Structures are given as structure tokens and as C-alpha cells.
Amino acid sequence: MIGKHARRHFAVSRCLTAKAPPARRPRERVEIPGFEMVTYGERMHYVPGLAKPVYPQWERDYKDPRHYKTPPAHQMPLYKEKPCYVYNQRTSALEGVRQALWLTKAKLISGLPPRLLSLAESPANQIPDQDERVQNAIKHARFWDTTEDRPCKEKYSNTLLSNLLHLCATLQSRHPAIGRRILAEKYSLATTWKRGEDLFQVRGQNGLLYNCMDPLPEVSGKQEVGDTADHVLKSFYPVSPSIDLQKVHVYKEEVNCSGFREGYPYPHAHTLYFQEEGDINCKLRPKQFRAKMVMFAFGNALARAHSLYGTQPQSVLGRPITVQAVGTNGRLFQFLVFQLNTTDLSGDNGIKNQVWLDEDVELYDYAKLRPLIKKKQVKVPAGLAGYKPETFRKFLALYLHGAV
């Protein structure tokens, strides 16, 4: 009797019904001690009734990359019993910024430093016809650079970021220090630190990096750095701090690479530029995206500190290392400043690092090719609406930091 949910296709072949043939179960090979299996191996052809011979695995005496087989992890020379937790560009940390703050032993400060924001308030540091040119840059990214009715977010966010950076670079004639910088793309970062009893690493490619010949000045002074010792890091127990990080046993224990060779003329990281839609195969939520910004800004600062002061933990750095980060999805901007004050990250006591974060800052409200009409009323007009000039001034302030 056919089951209730069974279907029989008498007039249709298997390939048309999209049913794969069932996988064959391998026959169990029974070995009886004291008995030798009679095989047809010596006869060099199949003989019914005789067992199939078992030959030793043939190994080539030459290297063929097409037939390379990875050895088991425990046989690799870099295998270690102690695991290492890796944060890469696709890590989606469950606790977001809170988890990143614990991993980097950092204190969060809401908003950007006032001294930094004042750089873009002076008319001498602003671009001629600044608001008009920024709006034209937005219109170019959203309207003029595509023939589609609605351009994809990956394209217009990349175009907008390039346009804004090009606008900021026009100030080089007033501030020659901007000429001592360069943009780098697709560089690989790797750095290691210990937090508690665990070993952590930041590895991978992380967007567009703005490098400079001269280091960024510190944002907070010695008094403010000393006051961070009283700050208590927030815990998210019972969630493990290493949750969602890649756990590996094959790794280099003291790897430290800024992504550039020794003697590179632009060794100091200035600003990292992230795009929320930069990786098509991995889209992070806003909370996880901001955590990625914190971790890679910290990773660049720590890699530079290890090259300057060595890999031994330093309770207080002689000169704090500052790295900035900007993230965008084409409309919303995230601004971050990270100051590395210490490389002694094993315990929760002592000096902490500092993070200034200004999140979800809108550059404009709407940018539509066609008006939004509901009940015969225009709710949102066509074109650019709700431009906010203070957002670009924050973008410009981070760009000018260290050059003014």
C-alpha cells in the first residue's frame, strides 16, 4: 500500500522529477583474525566469488598542485593545542561594540572630541562652495553615475566615498601635509594579543586605508589617560567574549604584520574607510559593523605599537597611537577615533584604551529619481532632500586631523 504522502511518477524519468539516486552504502569489510582473504589481485582481473584486493595508497614522488591533499590539522607544523580566536573581516560578533570594547580593553566615549570637530568649523579649512559641491557629489553617486531606476547600494556608496575623498583632497594647496599621505587598498593585517588566558588575533583585509608619513597626534592628554584606570569594563556574562570568533589550532603565535614591508614610506595608519555593503557575500548588521570598525582600528594601532615598542606588553605607551575609522552605507555615516594607550591587555585593571564613537549620522534624508506619491499627494519630492552639512564637516575634520 502506498503511503499517504508518497507520489509515484510512472510516466516521468528520474531526471525530470529532480530526484537524485540514493547514495550507496559502503559494504563493511569483515576481518577475521587468523584467516587470510582470498582475492583476485594476482590474476589481474575480476573473478566472481573472490574478494576485492586492498592496495596501499599510492603516493607521488613529485609535487602536483592539482592533486594536493591537505594533511590533518594535528600533523601540520604550526599546530598547537591551545586555541587562538581570530577576528576577521566577516566576523559577526554577537554583542557588537560591547564585545569589541572588552576584547580591546577600551573605554567608550559617545561623540567625537570637540577639539577634533573644531578643525572643520574654521572658514580657512573649508572647501569653496562646500555645501553645493557636496550635494553635487551625492547627486553624482545617486543619479548621474547610473542608467538604472534604482542603483545598487554597493555602487553608489563606493562612488560617494570616492567623491568625498576627492573633495577633501582639493585642500592640499592650503595644507601641504595632505600630500604626505596615500590611499592603500586590499592590504592584509595580522596582529596578536592576549586577553586573560586566551589568545586573540585580528587578521584579514579591511577596506580602504589612508596612510601617512607622520603619526596622528594624541586626542587626550596624560591626565585623561590616567583617569581611564578607574573605568570598569562592562561584562556580558554568561556570553563568552570569544563567541562568534573563529577558533583555530594552526597559527603563528606572535604574528605581527601591518600589511606593508619594512621601510614603507607611509607606515602610519591615519583613517580606515569601511563600506557596509563592501562584501556581497557577508552583510553585517549595524551593531556588528561598528564592532568591525573598532577591531580593525585597534588592530592597525596595535600592529604599529608592536613594531615601535616590541611585542612585550607595555602598561603605558610613551606616545599613544591614534587611528580613525569612517563607515558608510551611502547615506548613514559612522565616525570613530581609537587611541591606543596600553598594550597590556591581559587583565581588566590599569590604564584603558579610548574609543570615541559617533554612530548613525545622516548625510541626507532622501535621494529619489522619482517622487514618492501616496493618495495623490507627493510625500517625498524627486531629487535630493534633507541635506545635513554638519555630517560632511565631521568627515572633513577627520580628514584634516594631523594636517592642520
The mean pLDDT of 295-315, rounded to a whole number, is 94
DSSP for residue 292? H
| pLDDT (average), residues 134-151 | 90
**Which pLDDT belongs to residue 11?**
62
Predicted model pTM = 0.86
What would the pLDDT profile of 214-235 be if each residue is shown by its tens digit?
Answer: 999 999 999 999 999 999 999 8
**How far is the C-alpha of 115 from the C-alpha of 50, rounded, in Å?**
87
Residue 151: band (very low, low, confident or very high) from pLDDT cuts 50, 70, 90: confident
State residue 7's pLDDT score: 57
Tell me if 339 sits within 8 A of 218, measured CB to CB.
yes
Looking at the predicted structure, is the pLDDT value of residue 201 above 50? yes
Average pLDDT over residues 195-215: 93
Rounded to whole angstroms, the Cα distance separating 218 from 80 reads 38
Beta bridge partner(s), residue 199: 84, 194
Quick one: pLDDT at residue 36? 84
What average pLDDT does the segment 296-307 reach? 96
Helices (H) and strands (E) in the chain, counts: 7, 16
Instruction: Supply the pLDDT for residue 245.
Output: 96
Average pLDDT over residues 376-399: 93
